[in-house]
Structure 1
Amino acid sequence: MSNPILSLRDVHLSLNGNAGMVDILHGISLDVTKGETLALIGPSGSGKSSLLMVMGGLEQATGGTISAVNQDLTNLDEDALAAFRRHHMGVVFQSFHLIPTMTALENVAVPLELAGESDAFDRAQAELEAVGLGARADHYPNQMSGGEQQRVALARALAPRPEILLADEPTGNLDGTNGEAVMDLLFDLRDRHGATLIMVTHAPELANRCDRVIRLRDGRLDQ
């Protein structure tokens, strides 16, 4: 594979738990090509979300190397990783993580403002319209349904036009109808922005829409 957009080599992750150090990931090596859609699946506790967090620099690997968009992330500190994500990655969680005191428009504009974009609110409005929520721009999270909040979270993740979009169980808190709508949006927005999409999911119908499916078991790739 020539020049992958994301590359992991012998990645390990150990975290300090109540009973001492717990080994979460064991020697993960993986390449992801630009524009690929990749599903991470496996039983609960297999390390899927931890692997996604390591890919995004939200957890620091305890061994191995990680590079993304030609940048070695392995030894960057938290501030440098945050700056890298701001310019290159979008992250969508199962819990929407919207700021409750901000409107939908303000929530979507936050990463654009942090990146110093002068047209942050115009772009935020355009992204809300792309997810069908243009008319809800002035509403606060507690005035919206779960499906609407997840669509706002999607708009916020994609507003900076990231090269890589990471999604952790993006339909996990939604009913079937809303889950399906968010699934369609994920792929539509991926196509519109040309982003590489990597997601953790328990939904077979979502995994089946991806170019490639990676299964984890006990912190290892299940070949």
Structure 2
Amino acid sequence: MTLERLHAIETPSLAVPLIQLDAVRLTLMSAAGPVDILRGIDLAVEPGETLGLVGPSGSGKSTLLSVMAGLEKPTSGTVTVAGAQLDTLDEDRLARFRRDNVGIVFQSFHLIPTMSAIENVAIPLELAGDRDAWDKARAELELVGLGHRTDHYPAQLSGGEQQRVALARAVVASPKILFADEPTGNLDGKTGETIIDLLFDLRRTRGATLVLVTHDASLAARCDRRVRLADGSVVVDEAVA
């Protein structure tokens, strides 16, 4: 056995986190002066992991998700996601990063009201120049149970149906990371459970990493790991039993 082979056995390679935050701070100005939203966050998320971000309103959960997704730039610190250092990228490069790596599901759906369900789902693929955008969008809508609603506009869909469209749009480009910010916040309990089941099923079948913001303790308990924030700081980081 060669020395190189022996060394490789004795010192196995370590996985590189898909998301790495180091000393991330975000301060915003208000009429009363500067407000510290994030206060020195250190966090690593492994490929394929499901992470639940919990904490009281105003603790910084949604802001932290936005920083990881490249929607918000930190005041200081480094944010490295899928090999890209987001805090150094301009808006155009951040947009391309999100297009190629990220799917996002919001509480308020964020569908384009003048576009049909299939048009909303096809948008990420069309922006990437995918010639099969419409066929793939139709297939995703079938997977979320809306194959019969492809030509309906958001105003013609129930809240649960709109969130299904948003889920289909988030996964249609097979992103490395799915971000979900209170995805059941505008839905009744039964509909919300259905959406969450779909979200976890889609994540599992695509092999994506999931970062989920929620107030629901039972929902956070479905994740591999739970991170609790308070006043912009991580106060608990634990594996879910």
Query: Which residue pairs with 1:192 in the alignment?
Result: 205
Aligned with residue 59 of structure 1, among 72, 77, 87: 72
- 1:214 matched to 2:224? The reply is no
Structure 1's consecutive aligned runs of 4 or more residues displaced over 3 angstroms after TM superposition are: none
Opposite residue 55 of structure 1, the aligned amino acid is: M
Structure 2, gaps ≥5 residues long: 1-13, 237-241
Give 1:100 deviation, angstroms. Answer: 0.5
Opposite residue 90 of structure 1, the aligned amino acid is: G
CA distance in 1, matches of 2:15, 2:32: 42
Farther off after superposition, 15-24 or 73-82: 15-24
Taking structure 2 as the reference length, what is the TM-score of the superposition? 0.91
* Residue identity (%): 63
Opposite residue 36 of structure 2, the aligned amino acid is: D
Query: Which residue pairs with 1:168 in the alignment?
Result: 181
**Partner deviation per Cα, 1:161-207 (whole Å, 9 max, x = no partner):** 00001110001110011100000001000011110000100111210
**Partner deviation per Cα, 1:119-172 (whole Å, 9 max, x = no partner):** 000000011011111110010000000000001001001101000011100011
Query: Which residue pairs with 2:61 in the alignment?
Result: 48
Query: Which residue pairs with 1:72 in the alignment?
Result: 85
CA distance in 2, matches of 1:116, 1:17: 41
Give 1:72 deviation, angstroms. Answer: 1.2
Listed as ranges, the matches of 1:7-26 within 5 Å are 7-26=20-39
CA distance in 2, matches of 1:81, 1:21: 26
Aligned with residue 32 of structure 1, among 29, 42, 45: 45
Query: Which residue pairs with 1:144 in the alignment?
Result: 157
Query: Which residue pairs with 1:135 in the alignment?
Result: 148
Query: Which residue pairs with 1:91 in the alignment?
Result: 104
CA distance in 1, matches of 2:164, 2:141: 8
CA distance in 2, matches of 1:76, 1:88: 15
- 1:104 matched to 2:104? The reply is no
Taking structure 1 as the reference length, what is the TM-score of the superposition? 0.98
CA distance in 2, matches of 1:192, 1:16: 42
CA RMSD of aligned residues (A): 0.8
Q: Which has the larger radius of gyration?
A: 2
CA distance in 2, matches of 1:180, 1:76: 37
Secondary structure of residue in 1 paired with 2:148? helix
**Partner deviation per Cα, 1:47-72 (whole Å, 9 max, x = no partner):** 00000000011111001001011111
CA distance in 1, matches of 2:176, 2:32: 39
Opposite residue 91 of structure 1, the aligned amino acid is: I
Secondary structure of residue in 2 paired with 1:136? coil
Give 1:40 deviation, angstroms. Answer: 0.2
